[in-house]
Amino acid sequence: MKLVVMKFGGTSVGDLDKIANVANIINHEVKKNKLIVVLSAMAGETNKLQNYLDIIKSDNQIENDLVLTSGENVTIGLLSILLKKKRIKSIPLLGWQIPIITDNSHQKAKILNIDTNRIKKYLRKYDVLVIAGFQGISTKGNITSLGRGGSDTSAVALASALNAKRCDIYTDVDGVFTTDPNIEPRAKKINKLTFEEMLEMSSTGAKVLHTRSVELAMKNSLVIQVLSSLKNKKGTLIVDEKKLIEKEIVSGVSYSINESKVTISGIPDKPGISAKIFGLLAEKNINVDMIVQNISQDGISANITFTVPNSEVDKAQIVLKNNEKKIKFKSLNTDENVSKISVIGMGMMSQSGVAQKMFKTLADNSINILAISTSEIKISVLINKKFTNIAVKSLHKAYNLNSKKR
């Protein structure tokens, strides 16, 4: 019998009725395969716990993870009970019980090792292992969390380690869409997508999958399916590039309003100054995304503009101000009122004019571009936040995503 890994997110286990629904899905699947079922906490639960930590302004790594990971105990216990009522042989397992060993980077721990022998032993005795997502145990023996959305990564790591046939990620949407349906109701479900496209979509704002889970699946060539736990229909398959014969020029349009623009003006235009600035930021683990550098009008000094996550903008300002003498800048400005719009597609590599179409579409709508960054399969632009919807809608139309079937 083959092994399938199924992951259900917080909205899929949000109350007892929904957990009962998950039990029904499993009851169907367990007739064909042995199953590892990875669960998140009930929707809202982890937010409630994070809120406690925010109120008391906690920066204690061990304690934060202990608090944040408690919600999964409840969901895996309840699901296992409902499975046993259906006479399915099941057992709930916490991260430390398997164990899923991680490094000591609390709140964003990386999985170092999964005891697959222990899991295989369980699989001989039980048909379904109900495993707490999002959590592991560090080499020092503390409970760790993999970061928000980390249950996806738990599922993919388990599926990879155990050579699972498939990894199904159940959620409250039908799959991955060409863009956010809340902004563009004509957004369509994508049937197939490459890992690379999914990666770019995740990292540019489409909140369907935890970015690290996609990286991990890509590394292991593990097919992921994103599908709805509430509808009995196929979702979006995330596959290896080689398995996708017809590549879309543009598969989707994503956006992110979680980044801030930082501008440093009047820096001496000398070699090595960028290296100094971004070196200082990297030292403090601040993630810099888009970067634009230009010589100012006086021809002597330069300006540098870049983006950082909203949550890190204060830290970035402090680092830069503390090094004012070292960098020798004249002024420092930040702006949270920006939005990053991205178009993504594998076919972009072999097709010219994609960027040109993006810039023209935005210009036609009088939207000013503040910064640009590109990869082989993605073009991102930074714009004023108030133009987010019109930019997404006009690009979705310009690349024929309104009408296309995949």
Binding site for its own copies (CB under 8 A): 16, 20, 49, 52-53, 55-56, 58, 60, 62-64, 66-67, 69-71, 73-74, 76-78, 80-82, 84-85, 91-92, 94, 96-97, 141, 143
Based on CB atoms, which residue is closest to its own copies, 141 or 271?
A: 141
For the chain, the distance separating the N- and C-terminal CA atoms, rounded to the nearest angstrom, is 32
Closest by CA to 95, choosing from 78, 120, 125, 70, is: 70
List of residues 6+ apart from 368 with CB closer than 8 A: 383, 384
Based on CB atoms, which residue is closest to its own copies, 48 or 330?
A: 48
Distance CA(336)–CA(327), nearest Å, equals: 23
* CB 90 to its own copies: min, Å: 9
φ/ψ of 366, rounded to 5, equals 60, 35
* CB 149 to its own copies: min, Å: 20
Based on CB atoms, which residue is closest to its own copies, 92 or 345?
A: 92
Based on CB atoms, which residue is closest to its own copies, 143 or 344?
A: 143
Based on CB atoms, which residue is closest to its own copies, 148 or 276?
A: 148
* CB 78 to its own copies: min, Å: 6
Q: Beginning with the edge strand found earlier in the chain, give each strand of the sheet holding 291-295 in spatial order.
A: 291-295, 301-309, 259-268, 331-335
Based on CB atoms, which residue is closest to its own copies, 96 or 255?
A: 96
Q: What is the DSSP letter of 367?
A: P
Distance CA(341)–CA(204), nearest Å, equals: 8
DSSP letter for each residue of 22-56: HHHHHHHHTTTSEEEEEE-PPTTHHHHHHHHHHHT
Region class of 107: left (phi > 0), else alpha (psi between -120 and 50), else beta: left
Distance CA(323)–CA(275), nearest Å, equals: 14
* CB 317 to its own copies: min, Å: 25
Based on CB atoms, which residue is closest to its own copies, 97 or 365?
A: 97
* CB 10 to its own copies: min, Å: 15
Based on CB atoms, which residue is closest to its own copies, 62 or 292?
A: 62
Based on CB atoms, which residue is closest to its own copies, 60 or 113?
A: 60
Distance CA(69)–CA(11), nearest Å, equals: 16
C-alpha dist (Å) from residue 25 to 56, 79, 175, 327, 339: 40, 12, 17, 58, 38
Residues facing 335 on adjacent strands: 261
The identity of residue 323, as a single letter, is N
C-alpha dist (Å) from residue 106 to 173, 255, 339: 29, 28, 29
φ/ψ of 113, rounded to 5, equals -160, 145
Based on CB atoms, which residue is closest to its own copies, 127 or 215?
A: 127
Task: Answer positive or negative: Cα dihedral of 371, 207, 165, 36.
Answer: positive
